[in-house]
A and B are shown apart, each in its own frame.
Chain A
Amino acid sequence: MIEHFKTLLRGELGAGSLEKSGWRWFAIYCLAIVVGSSVYGAAIGLWRAPLQSVFTAIKFPLLIFLTCIGNGAVNGMLAQLFGSGLSFRQTALAVLMSFAVAAVILGALSPVTLFVLYNAPPLGSANAIVGHSMMLLTHVFAIAFAGIMANLRLLDLLRRMTGCDTAARAVLFSWLGGNLFLGAQLAWTLRPFIGSPGLTVQFLRDDPLRGNFYEAVWRAFRHLFL
């Protein structure tokens, strides 16, 4: 299993890697996502409170799985519409594989983010805002790097599967667009992940399904510019 992940991280998986039968590889990728993203999620939430770290450790992998499940059908359809030749099963495995790459990278970076957290001025101190900003920047860079690497590996795999760069890019960007669109809203529904100092630590905010990430962004835009 470790050799497989090393091959995956190196971007050397062959076109036959999505042909595997049975549920073993689904389970392995899900396990990697749970372990890597839970560890990193705990590091995210620890700044607010230990209880928030437990909540975020549960919610981070949940966000990934809900995004995969929510977009499973449309990702499979888009893959076929763009001429990749991938089946629904192969699509699901490819998407899980890329999330597993991101989760492994985030898990490896969690000691670094925990070290940054250890050095951040605590909540309630005079420099708490500096600490909060540093934590946010660290998490943005780590998650962005993990996401970019995961998508580069997925693009390599799609090129090998399809044999056509255009089709591979079309499939990747369509999956990316859909996952980002749904993922942003699911992240809004499952908030808080970091936790606001002014609000109590909760697993979910009251009435979590109410409210919309894009409406919140629009309201913020209107307050700033209109």
Chain B
Amino acid sequence: MPNAENPISLLENLLKHPGRVVHELQQKQASVLAGWLLLFGIVGIAIYGTVVGAQSGGAQMWIAPVKLGLGTLLAVLICLPSLYIFTCLGGIDAQLRSVCGALFAAVCLSSILLIGFAPVAWIFSQSTDSIAFMGALHLLFWLIGIRFGLRLIDATGRFLGARSKGHLRIWSVIFILVCLQMTTTLRPIIAPSKTFLPTEKKFFLAHWLDSINGK
């Protein structure tokens, strides 16, 4: 069983027996477990960020991990209040620490999967100079990772007696949109830039269209 004294077993169980992690997040040590999950999630995505930054090299080798880690943390903080309310709307009687734990577990699971995709991403990053292509590839890997993460949140909802799936599905869409926008808010992540943050505000669809058109 995952326990707070052995954080590594937490990662193993998250992949092999996610149900055990969901169960432990309802017990007394849930807060400690949730803390480890968040830490692993942020560190994991920062590790993937080094592969993202390797496309351009130089300062992007530290800027990309910092931006991905910070962006993930901000997205979690922005969406946590609505997750708590949406779990209530779905008929789930959960403590705040359990809801936090479920979200942090989802982020941690997606970052573990991203680390798994890191060698594939690196190979492609060495094969092309196209920022748009690599951006799309990184987004695809992230979407696959977060799909498994959100499935974990769904499973937590079922475990806690959710009466309807619709509310958590709506929240999942909100979370994905916030994360997609966060990549644009903190751009550039792959390509180098003179400023740490962008000087112009854009929505992510407009940014993607501009990137495809080479603007």
Contact = CB atoms under 8 A, between A and B. Distances in A.
B84, B85, B178, B185 — which one has the most chain A CB atoms within 10 A of its CB?
A: B85
Contacts of A125: 201
Given A115-B181, A118-B185, A130-B206, A10 B82 contact: no
B77 A9 contact: no
Contacts of B184: 119
Interface in B75-97: 77-79, 81-82, 84-86, 88-93
B84 A121 contact: no
B85 A105 contact: yes
Chain B facing A: main interface SS: helix
A104 B203 CA distance: 27
Contacts of A112: 78-79, 82, 174, 178
B17 interface: no
B71 to A, nearest CB: 11
A147 interface: no
Nearest to A109: B82
B158 interface: no
A118 B88 CA distance: 28
Contacts of A111: 77-79, 81-82
Given A9-B85, A105-B85, A112-B178, A130 B203 contact: yes
B202 interface: yes
Interface string A96-111: 0000000011011101
Contacts of A127: 202, 206
A10 B91 contact: yes
16 contacts: A9-B85, A10-B88, A10-B93, A11-B91, A12-B91, A105-B89, A108-B85, A111-B77, A111-B79, A112-B78, A112-B178, A118-B185, A119-B181, A119-B185, A121-B201, A121-B202
Contacts of B185: 118-119
Interface residues of B, number: 26
Given A9-B85, A131-B201, 15 more contacts: A5-B88, A9-B89, A10-B88, A10-B163, A105-B85, A108-B84, A109-B82, A115-B178, A119-B181, A119-B184, A119-B185, A120-B203, A130-B203, A130-B206, A134-B203
A12 B89 CA distance: 10
Give the 6 A-B residue pairs with the shortest CB-CB distance, closest first. A9-B88, A108-B85, A108-B81, A111-B78, A108-B82, A10-B91
A9, A118, A121, A131 — which one has the most chain B CB atoms within 10 A of its CB?
A: A9
Interface in A116-143: 116, 118-122, 125, 127, 130-131, 134
Contacts of A134: 203
Given A112-B78, A115-B78, A115-B178, A10 B202 contact: no
Interface string B170-208: 100010001001001100000000000000111100100
